[in-house]
Amino acid sequence: MLPFLPDNKNFSYRDNELWCERVPLKQIAEEFGTPVYVYSYNSIKKAFLAYQQALKPYPHLMCYAMKANSNIAIIHLLAKLGAGFDIVSGGELRRVIEASGDPKKVLFSGVGKIYDEIAYALENDIKCFNVESEPELERIIEVAKAQNKVARISLRVNPNVDAKTHPYISTGLKQNKFGIAIEDAPRVYEKASKSDFLKITGIDCHIGSQITDISPFLDACDKLLDLADVLKSKGIELDHIDFGGGLGIVYEEGQEVHHASELVEALHQKMENRGYGYLEMIFEAGRSIVGNSGVLVTEIQYLKEGETKNFCIVDTAMNDMIRPTLYQAWMQIAPLHVYPENCPIKEEIFDVVGPICETGDWLGKDRKLKVQPGDLLAVMSSGAYGMTMSSHYNTRLKPPEILVDGADYYVIREREKIEKLFSSEHIVEL
């Protein structure tokens, strides 16, 4: 029986070998070495267009949340498909510009915007700042005044909606650091409306990541529309509602996620019923666009029999993919070659672990695998929060990134060279 693959259209087994589109992953591993990130362009395109087509009948801006995967090749391709971008740093804005994205389609989120980032965003005339606190609002006024410009803003409100997701990626509860309490929002909007250096354009909220059900979005929408009513009564008109991140993705067999069209239609129906169907709908999806588009290919170095556990030791580590360690995330681990049933290699249960000197350095626990040293494995659903959260811990080189389109593939990030890791460091003689 072949292993479950979350995206079985763009990743599939052919003659017991795992392929990305029309390229065997083994071929990429042999050419570029391991570990290596491999992405399917057609998987990314399909996921983005699912939102874009669902939104087509309505005023909309479909933004890509760059924190999921910020490679400029991917940003460039999404920009060509019409994407806007949700950023959380000045560096991410620089990537948008480098990738020929349109700053006028950029939303700047995040709780800790510094002076220089705000100034840089204003200089590039971004679409909107998603303001997360009153002190931030005052700072934006200060920077806009210094530039003699008007900053377009929305308030990110905290609707206190439980997204039923991992606590580290839940962002819409009172105890989270994000946004302005929805009860305080009318007063802050009134304050913003009195500034000559601000233009109110919308409402923003983001209740969390990896949400597989649409009901939390609908609960948040009700609260946003109630706030819109209050603002309208005060003479404050809006141009858009930003519903934050998109839906989650399927990581394991049996998991179900609503389609983008179901989410869009349900939210727009609420807007229409309340008289706000004319407002621009904005989403900031990241994981659901790139998550299942990527795999992290790794080579098995050793099979180690412990007293209570068997360990499959690979050349990929928590510095390359930290989600299992950080979130206890379950990610499918699939062999690139599936051995036949009558093969003498025995199937065993392993913890798949890396070479870093931490007990937390693991990719999967209690996995049934029929493998031997030298075999290749693919950590599925690695397109989001893999490379962007990677590090140089243990002075390890970051993997290359390869983009596959049909039978063609391209290097979109080269494997790092060791000299680069300490080229900016300096020895001193004391």
Q: Is 245 annotated as a binding residue?
A: no
Q: Catalytic site residue 221?
A: no
Q: Is 385 annotated as a binding residue?
A: yes
Beta strands in 113-258 (DSSP E): 128-131, 151-158, 180-181, 198-204, 240-242
* 230 Cα distance to chain centroid: 33
Residues 6+ apart with CB under 8 A from 306: none
Q: How is residue 23 written in tokens?
A: 């390229």
Q: Is 168 annotated as a binding residue?
A: no
Q: Which residues of 189-198 are buried (b: 16+ CB within 10 A; e: fewer)?
A: beebeebebb
287/297 Cα distance (integer angstroms): 19
Nearest to 129 by CA among 147, 111, 152: 152
Q: Is 327 annotated as a binding residue?
A: yes
Q: Is 112 annotated as a binding residue?
A: no
Q: Is 41 annotated as a binding residue?
A: no
Q: Is 341 annotated as a binding residue?
A: no
68/388 Cα distance (integer angstroms): 7
Q: Is 386 annotated as a binding residue?
A: no
Task: Give the strand order in the sheet containing 23-24.
Answer: 11-14, 17-20, 23-24
Nearest to 123 by CA among 109, 101, 144, 139: 144
144/129 Cα distance (integer angstroms): 12
Q: Is 190 annotated as a binding residue?
A: no
Nearest to 33 by CA among 401, 409, 379, 405: 401
Helix, coil or strand: residue 56: coil
Phi, psi of 162 (to 5 degrees): -85, 115
Q: How is residue 20 written in tokens?
A: 């990305």
269/258 Cα distance (integer angstroms): 16
303/232 Cα distance (integer angstroms): 65
Nearest to 65 by CA among 406, 417, 384: 384
Cis ω for the linkage preceding 35 (within 30 of 0): yes
Which is the catalytic residue, given 128, 205, 221, 357? Answer: 357
* Residue 76 neighbours by CB distance under 10 Å: 16
Query: What are the catalytic residues?
Result: 357
Binding site membership for substrate: which residues? 287, 323, 327, 358, 385
Residues in the annotated binding site: 246, 284-287, 323, 327, 358, 385
Q: Please state the residue numbers annotated as binding site for pyridoxal 5'-phosphate.
A: 246, 284-287, 385
